[in-house]
Amino acid sequence: MKRWNNTPDAKWQLDKVKQARRSLDKVRMKLRSPTIQAMDSSTSDLGVAVECLKTLEVGFASGQLVALEWRRLLEQEMGGLRRELREVNALLEGAGKFYQGWARLVATGVDDEPAHYSVQGVPIPPAPFRSGKVVAIG
């Protein structure tokens, strides 16, 4: 028979949700200015949040019943956790789009051939490409 009065378990679950939210809040604050360093340093905080969620999942899967007052608190915190996850996801997507666009701007060259300059910085013509081979595929 499942017990109803499991306040220590519910408190532990509530603490884990709060810990995950604190970690996500740190990530969210770092991603407001999405530098490469900020994204790199947020991985440890994301790892903490993921570990908290994994342990919560095991706790929830056990099927223990939670008193109504603790259940309401957990529902509120889980709602906040979902909001935090959506915000972090949106910030990560925005950072990804920014860096994709930046990479496109940086990579737009007339040609992708190497520049032909001497050591002294004087332009030199490219070496002619003469191949006596023919390759056929098919």
Question: Does the reported pTM lie above 0.75?
Answer: no
Whether residue 26 is contained in a domain is answered as: yes
Span 13-67, pLDDT tens digits? 889 999 999 999 999 999 888 888 888 889 999 999 999 888 888 877 777 777 7
The chain-wide mean pLDDT, for the chain, equals 80
For residue 110 the two structure tokens come to 């007339």
Alpha-carbon span 5 to 49, nearest angstrom = 27
Phi, psi of 137 (to 5 degrees): -115, 130
User: Based on the structure, what is the number of domains in the chain?
Assistant: 1
Residues 6+ apart with CB under 8 A from 27: 42, 45, 46, 49, 88
Q: Which residue range is the domain that position 17 belongs to?
A: 7-107
Query: 41 in a domain, yes or no?
Result: yes
The CB density around residue 38, as the number of other CB atoms within 10 Å, is 15
Residue at 95 is within a domain = yes
One-letter amino acid of 136: A
